A and B are shown apart, each in its own frame.
Chain A
Amino acid sequence: MAVTLDDVRHIAALARLGLSDDRAHALVGELNGILAHMDVLSKVDTTGVEPLTGIGLSTTPLREDRGPAIPLVHPIETFAPKFEDGFFLVPRLATHEDASDAS
């Protein structure tokens, strides 16, 4: 299962990472180099073995359906890139027109 340049571009888009052409090309080799070592796992017989889903605690502790209050020492304005009237401001989403331009 070798990673291709298209795979790198696809997963970079999924991960919201912009990559230069040089970096994308280099990552093909880097990721294949790492994944080649992982192939050893395919040879392990895991018939009937459940994937590990939790460690330590045998059950998930329950609590009231109300998050514990976490008082903020610094107001949101001090750490948010853009915050106004109680809202985080973000650039506008693509419109349908933008989407058709891009396709």
Chain B
Amino acid sequence: MSRATESLALARRIGAFDRDGLNILLHAADDALRRAERALDERRDRGAALAMDGIPVVVKDNIATTDLPTSCGSNILGGYLSPYDATAVAKLRDAGALIVAKSNMDEFAMGSSNENSAYGPARNPVDPTRVPGGSSGGSAAAVAAGIVPIALGSETGGSVRQPAAFCGVVGVKPTYGRVSRFGLVAFASSLDHIGVFGKTVDDAALGLEVIAGHDPRDATSAPRDVPAYRDAARGALTGVVIGKPKEYFPADLDPRIRERCETALEIMRSLGAEIRDVSLPHTDLAIEVYYIVAPAEASSNLARFDGVRYGLRRDGDGLRGMYEATRSSGFGPEVTRRILLGTYVLSAGYYDAYYRKAQQVRTLIAEDFAKVFASGVHLLFTPTTPTPAFPLGAKSDPYEMYLSDIFTVTANLAGVPAMSLPIGRVGGLPVGGQLLAPHFDERQMLAAAYALERTLGEEAHR
């Protein structure tokens, strides 16, 4: 079956998405099938193939699309139709991809389980009693459920890699600046990234290759050439030094996850890589730094949702009353909590103790990566998450939920590229292995992922 015919078959499934009770998609194109057929016709007429001809793609609900709502999983943007496409979306369309649906997510990307969505939680297709992870839970689940081979997500602290691990798919967070964020609704601007999910490493590499590149509309976008990521499939691991940071293999790590990681490391060694024990000594401070910096930036970014220019408006007493009524009825509990936390750590008298201190420790975390990569280590390998997917409702304490990002937030704090790929299952649930690379070296990271995936074969999903 050709890729395009396969796409047509996949697009047909979109119509059935809401019958499975998984709540994966929030807005689906009614005419997905017609779009797929039209794309196929156009391709026949044109003759030449585009990189993503007719491939259906699901996009996270916080990435702007002109033809489907962009609600960020929030009531404050319920039904909001963006007047422009995000650059990543425009690039996908230009490459022939079909944007068929917007996926469920934690409200404004704040969460690690998708339970913070104003539209109800998405469920994990592998085990519907469990969460798909978050915040890009819907995109990960859409790929895992076979609705689409490629989906876009976003990451602020691990929101692509963690759900990729929980759902048994590939999730890539590129280097900060590699993919334009124009049209990504801002949560924490120094940490936000657009990332890609794929059924396979090659799917994710294709998606990344299409959306990466400089964009003058995003001042943080890097003016650097984009390598052909799919060529990394031919890369070898001979002579590649892979660091195993001890802080990511703590004594209390689930022994079954440890065993899966050891197997993956052994495979990479057998393929010619050198495995080296390394240390990133400030890792255990990352969650605390993240939960100061991210809410601080969020409190500023989310000030724009005030009922004036777009989204929900609730009347109140005068202008201020309107602001307060709109924001308190539009934002859910976790978003409200983080806005308040962020406002507090930035407020007079607390700025130095919390925000400035956190940014200083963040420098130390970024230096940990810089030092280890300067010592001759090419890549790092770790578990993506400390546990497999947990049951819905299992984590009611906010801080306990925050800890599920413990192995992923560091890459956002340092801006280095990182990805998760399936490396096996424990108790029937997927386990993700994480690869991290120096800034802008996604190609080396993908080369290792291709090699690992190829050697693991079906073992990656058993």
Contacts and interface: CB of A to CB of B under 8 A. Distances in A.
Contacts of A86: none
Interface residues of A, number: 58
Interface string B275-311: 0000000100101110110000001000100111111
Given A15-B340, A90-B319, A51 B364 contact: no
A50 B325 CA distance: 40
Interface string A1-25: 1010001101110111111000000
Contacts of B313: 81-82
B341 interface: yes
Given A34-B398, A40-B285, A79-B81, A70 B217 contact: yes
B129 interface: no
A31 to B, nearest CB: 6
A14 B347 CA distance: 9
Given A72-B83, A81-B308, A1 B350 contact: yes
Given A1-B353, A56-B220, A31 B341 contact: yes
Interface residues on B, range: 35 or more
A37 B399 contact: yes
A56 to B, nearest CB: 4
A51 B175 contact: no
B423 to A, nearest CB: 28
Interface in B212-250: 216-217, 219-220, 222-223
A3 B220 contact: no
Contact of B321 (A37, A40, A68, A91): A91
Given A37-B288, A81-B308, A90-B322, A68 B216 contact: yes
Contacts of A57: 177, 220, 222
Given A3-B344, A40-B285, A56-B175, 16 more contacts: A16-B327, A18-B324, A34-B398, A34-B399, A35-B341, A38-B291, A51-B363, A55-B366, A55-B414, A57-B222, A68-B217, A73-B83, A80-B308, A88-B308, A90-B319, A94-B318
3 pairs of A and B residues whose beta carbons are closest in the complex? A51-B359, A55-B415, A81-B313
Interface of A: 1, 3, 7-8, 10-12, 14-19, 27, 30-31, 33-35, 37-38, 40-42, 44, 46, 49-57, 60-61, 63, 68, 70-76, 78-82, 88, 90-94, 98
